[in-house]
Structure 1
């Protein structure tokens, strides 16, 4: 599981909860002045995940307004950019003369080294909390021209299409399911998140050439791989379809995978075989014909599937299913034997 720190104000009596939240904000690298109409009972939750080059924070709280003043900046300048995704409710963002209303599914971006203010409220205050995920990026870690970034301060960016959607999905998945990852995944996840954020911000600068080539390559690769994972069951999925969907040539697509020591077709085939192998071992799918399982993951030809499966795993699909079934029976039999032993 990814290391995560959490805070839950509801462990305290209602009258002490807002004070607990203010203490949390004061301890962060970007302290702010916070006020809320719910200060008498501020039921809130926060969790923090450090991914190395970036840090993620997931928030859930009643409506609030926060401001970072010039004095606060002078007292503490962490040299951070903040990329905030509103996941529930409506937010406002203001910096450098630009003010925006941020809807659920949209990003806003600001520089914590400059004064700014923000607001966030639930759309139905009596029944909902406002929720968001923020990504904290050190100035030195973002490979974009610092003098160009002011064009994005306080603005809004879509998190429902293109790279923005992929970044939003990444943030929601990592913060929502940290148990699905290992501590060893931290640096790689941080690199992926930074690449996606860099590419999205670069595109909104209308200066994609400002994004380093390798960052663009890795971000595009992540986007392509995500698309392949979502469409494995489509029997027509292949290099041409993938290339057309991403508006690149097949040749460019192949070059994209060269650094991964595989080809596009091999990547698709290996993922499909892995899904089939998993499903064939699933007792709940025992009654489904082998070819039904294969077709679900894009193998329309029975003979081709059998040959590919044997080449990858050294056994036929049916033999693999039978061996898993035999193993399950052995385990169940042993469990039954243990349960039937008399107690001491």
Structure 2
């Protein structure tokens, strides 16, 4: 069995002063996912990323000046993969926000966040983090509700938190020198440990009140009845319920999901059902996708693969 391994270093010290921040923005996107960067002062900006790419996970040490990174909706639209990231704070502090939650991180604290939802990270001066990136399916196979546990901090001083932080640092220092089989086992072990540390967070989610439960049911009923409308959006749903978009989003967030993710996953479920329905066996995949509001076929194929682990064509063939 072969193993893939690549190492990259991005350092603003290699740039002219006027080019440092622009170089950093490009480097962050190369190392992680498409992101926007903001800094109050770009003068004397410094940043460094030491990245090692392996078969299952990417490990990177990132440090530098105070700034903010933002994962925007347009960045997600250009993404090819669905991934989780886990940031372990090694120096100073940061705040990671996603799905209406904010995770303040101090030394050895960490939190999970998703590449398929918008997020922001505020990083203090002279920060340092260990960032672990891996495919969503690797964690979801161990912890099916992991999408609901993003931006919830894990205390690095707790027994589980300390174990994850220490193990991740140890693995990052020794994995490069191991045999192929050992490298793969170390990566799987780290994801197992991450899943174990996140499992207790299930009890930290805020329970919906009875009126909020009713709102959620009504909102989801409206969505399911209008999935074929390609233009369906949060404004339409909120207006149908007499709510503000903000209030609608709050109710979904308290339930550990977002409006957009529910629409997306519901459409994929409908498409998957039609693909194996004998009544639609003569319909093309693109025809079924268009029927359920998917106008961008390339993006649809990626989204379907992320949710079901295979292409729409393979899904149809396996089920018949």
Q: TM (normalized to structure 1)?
A: 0.53
Residue 200 of structure 2 is aligned to residue 192 of structure 1: no
Aligned residue in 2 for 1:158: 155
Q: CA deviation at 1:201?
A: 1.4
CA distance in 2, matches of 1:55, 1:121: 23
CA distance in 2, matches of 1:180, 1:152: 30
Change (3 A) 1:62 1:183: farther
Aligned residue in 1 for 2:11: 8
What is the aligned-residue RMSD (CA, Å)? 2.2
Residue 71 of structure 2 is aligned to residue 68 of structure 1: yes
In the TM superposition, what are the counterparts of 1:142-181 in structure 2 within 5 Å? 142=139, 143-146=141-144, 148-175=145-172, 177-178=173-174, 181=177
Q: CA deviation at 1:38?
A: 4.0
Change (3 A) 1:178 1:74: same
Q: Deviations over 1:60-94 (max 9, x none)?
A: 11111011111111121520011111111111111
Residue 106 of structure 2 is aligned to residue 103 of structure 1: yes
CA distance in 2, matches of 1:169, 1:67: 28
Q: Deviations over 1:83-106 (max 9, x none)?
A: 111111111111111123211220
- Assess if the C-alpha contact under 8 Å between 1:80 and 1:136 holds in 2: yes
Q: Deviations over 1:222-270 (max 9, x none)?
A: xxxxxxxxxxxxxxxxxxxxxxxxxxxxxxxxxxxxxxxxxxxxxxxxx
Aligned residue in 2 for 1:182: 178
In the TM superposition, what are the counterparts of 1:1-344 in structure 2 within 5 Å? 3-28=6-31, 30-122=33-125, 129-142=126-139, 143-146=141-144, 148-175=145-172, 177-178=173-174, 181-182=177-178, 184=180, 185-206=182-203
Aligned residue in 2 for 1:326: none
Change (3 A) 1:179 1:196: closer
Q: TM (normalized to structure 2)?
A: 0.57
SS in structure 2 of the partner of residue 27 of structure 1: helix
SS in structure 2 of the partner of residue 131 of structure 1: strand
Change (3 A) 1:187 1:179: closer
SS in structure 1 of the partner of residue 81 of structure 2: coil
Aligned residue in 1 for 2:231: none
Q: Which ranges in structure 2 are unaligned for 5 or more consecutive residues?
A: 205-320
Q: CA deviation at 1:160?
A: 2.6
Name the larger-Rg structure: 1
SS in structure 1 of the partner of residue 49 of structure 2: strand
Q: Which ranges in structure 1 are unaligned for 5 or more consecutive residues?
A: 123-128, 208-344
Choose 105-114 or 14-23, whichever is displaced more: 14-23
- Assess if the C-alpha contact under 8 Å between 1:29 and 1:78 holds in 2: no
Choose 73-82 or 37-46, whichever is displaced more: 37-46
